[in-house]
Amino acid sequence: MDEKWGISPEYLRVLETAASRYLGRGAPSLALQRGASNLLATYSPEALRRRVDIRRRWGFAPEGYTVSVGNDCNLNCGYCYYGAGGPAGKEVVQIDLERLGTIIGEMKNEFGIRFVTLTGGETTLRLREIAARWPDVTFYAYTNGKLLGAEFCRELEELGNVVIALTVIGTEPVHESIRPGNYAQVMAAAENLRQSSLVWGFSLTESRVNYREIVDDGLLDCLLQFGPFFFRMIPFMPVGREQVGCALTTEEYARIAEVIRRKREDGLLIHDYINDPTSGYSCMAGAERSFFITERFELCPCVFMDTRTPPLEFRDGSSNLMQVLREHPYFRRARELATRHPRCIILENPRWREAVTQQIVD
């Protein structure tokens, strides 16, 4: 395992191959230049030393974090882990950008992090506004693609600090079974991204719905025609409004890992830290490597966990973020559980919610 990056030499070789292929398309775009600059800043010797020192003092040091831009969405998917969309008349909450700026500043100053993952809700509802406000940060945004028209993509190109993760579930019949009317929008968005200079890729949730298409190679090969820079594979988590038996078995995840390894031999960049141990990652919960901030500024040990702390306190341009990360029992307990369930607390412990909230001793 590479001590500097925390990932395997094999995965580093895949990154280098993918980057070379992407750079070979022509002069580096503004998005690629700024993305590389922020990546180098996040993993500079100074930032790495800072996180190593913090890990020695605190026992953990996050390398990234995810923020919900709001709980509103222009789709209403039944298995959404966050319950976005939802019933008509629900209270719509969007994140306060002044307070978000405080958090971004604290994470830069404390941990040297200049990458922020955005989710929600639908990120493109506020993506341009957020990216324009913090040009020295790169925002990795998950999106359903509904708003990614050609003009929208051009505006993101001019900003230069956005990476797009376009969500696709499967081929048209499979995708439409989950998100009716969205498949054509995703394909149009992929074409607009293909013609842009943005750094982008596809995000796939591995589930019972699309398992056969993934292991048969047809889905990935079909999507490769659009020239994505990466694929992001995320296991289905049984935490949404409709838990429709979508979670896969350990054996099925192992078969997907075989597909990933085979594709990587061709230089394809695929992120899947849960199902592919060659990437070197383990459970990231509890700020061991990452954490989640809701649009109300509650903190969660993991994006998929609904165990939320009280909202952060803001006073005189600062927050109590660091104190919550260090001391709140949900985070301390999640870090303890992550050592027992290095692959994923949720997937390996059916009673994870009770364990995180210390209602049981497992």
pLDDT tens for residues 278-301?
555 678 899 998 999 999 999 999
**Which residues are registered as beta bridge partners of 94?**
70
pTM: 0.90
pLDDT at 92: 85
pLDDT tens for residues 167-179?
999 999 999 988 9
pLDDT at 83: 61
Core vs surface per residue 113-152: b (16+ CB within 10 A) or e: bbbbbbbbbbbbbbbbebbeebeebbbbbbbbbbbbeeeb
Could you tell me the pLDDT band of residue 357, with boundaries at 50, 70 and 90? very high
Closest of 5, 15, 8, 87 to residue 264, by C-alpha: 15
CB 84 within 8 A of CB 72: yes
pLDDT tens for residues 65-116?
999 999 888 887 766 766 655 555 568 899 999 999 999 999 999 999 999 9
Q: Running DSSP on this structure, what letter comes out for residue 249?
A: P
Contacts with 289 (C-beta within 8 Å, 6 or more apart), sequence order:
62, 63, 64, 281, 282
Core vs surface per residue 218-245: b (16+ CB within 10 A) or e: ebbeebeebebbbbbbbbbbbbbbeeee
* Mean pLDDT rounded to a whole number for the chain: 86
In CATH terms, the superfamily for domain 9-279 is Aldolase class I (3.20.20.70)
pLDDT tens for residues 202-227?
999 999 999 999 998 689 999 999 99
**Average pLDDT of the residues in 133-159:** 95
Q: Is 180 exposed, middle or buried (0-12, 13-18, 19+ CB in 10 A)?
A: exposed
pLDDT tens for residues 306-346?
999 999 999 999 999 999 999 999 999 999 999 999 888 99
